[in-house]
């Protein structure tokens, strides 16, 4: 594994962690809450985003307008069965999700969940570093690169690891701030 490959994979890990953070409620309406919602549409699991227009008209409401009006009830059912914990209200043409304010206990739970996602991201980055280090050591052992080159690449790899771990820590701090803001 080359350094460029390792960096690219670390960047993807940071992006995956960001997507995981986006699924955590913050007390404000955010369309990304519905990213993981799958709707059984004509027998095929389909993402809600591809079946409906999702908007946030104000800070506490998400408005879902299915492109196909006949799918309104199955969209409502999919949201009810999802793990977002919000009951949809259907008025015949659109579905409204009213985002309730978070209690302090719920905020603490979400901060813990965000910390768990961040730790998973850090572990992913450390695994990438481990694989790249193994690759560098194999190259050194087989005399493809010198001992000095090996040390240089290992130092660069550690700097990359620190950089992307810091990015995840920064994302976590932002998310915790979002969750804690009333």
Segment 24-33, tens digit of pLDDT: 877 777 777 7
Q: How confident is the model at residue 14 (pLDDT cuts 50, 70, 90)?
A: very high
- Single pTM value for the model: 0.72
Q: How confident is the model at residue 173 (pLDDT cuts 50, 70, 90)?
A: very high
Q: Looking at residues 12-29, what average pLDDT do you find? A: 84
pLDDT at residue 182 tops 70:
no
Q: Each residue of 65-109: pLDDT tens digit?
A: 888 888 888 888 888 887 777 788 888 888 888 887 778 888 888
Q: Which helix (H) or strand (E) holds 46?
A: strand 44-47
Query: SS3 helix, strand, coil % of the chain, rounded to 5?
Result: 60, 15, 25
**3-22+103-180: what CATH class?**
mainly alpha
Query: Per CATH, which fold does 31-98 belong to?
Result: Gyrase A; domain 2 (3.30.1360)
What is the domain partition of the chain in residue ranges? 3-22+103-180, 31-98
């Amino acid at each position: 594994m080359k350094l460029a490959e390792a960096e690219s994979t670390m960047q993807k890990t940071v992006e995956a962690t960001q997507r995981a953070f986006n699924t955590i409620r913050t007390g404000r309406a955010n369309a990304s809450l519905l990213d993981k919602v799958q709707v059984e549409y004509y027998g095929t699991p389909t993402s809600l985003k591809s079946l409906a227009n999702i908007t946030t008209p104000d800070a506490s409401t998400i408005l879902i307008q299915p492109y196909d009006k006949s799918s309104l009830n199955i969209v409502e059912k999919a949201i009810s069965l999802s793990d977002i914990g919000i009951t949809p209200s259907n008025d015949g043409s659109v579905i409204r999700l009213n985002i309730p304010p978070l209690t302090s206990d719920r905020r603490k739970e979400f901060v813990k969940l965000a910390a768990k996602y961040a730790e998973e991201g850090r572990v992913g980055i450390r695994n990438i570093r481990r694989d790249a280090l193994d690759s560098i050591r194999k190259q050194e052992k087989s005399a493809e690169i010198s001992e000095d080159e090996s040390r240089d690449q290992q130092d660069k790899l550690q700097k990359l690891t620190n950089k992307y771990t810091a990015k995840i820590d920064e994302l976590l701090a932002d998310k915790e701030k979002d969750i804690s803001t009333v």
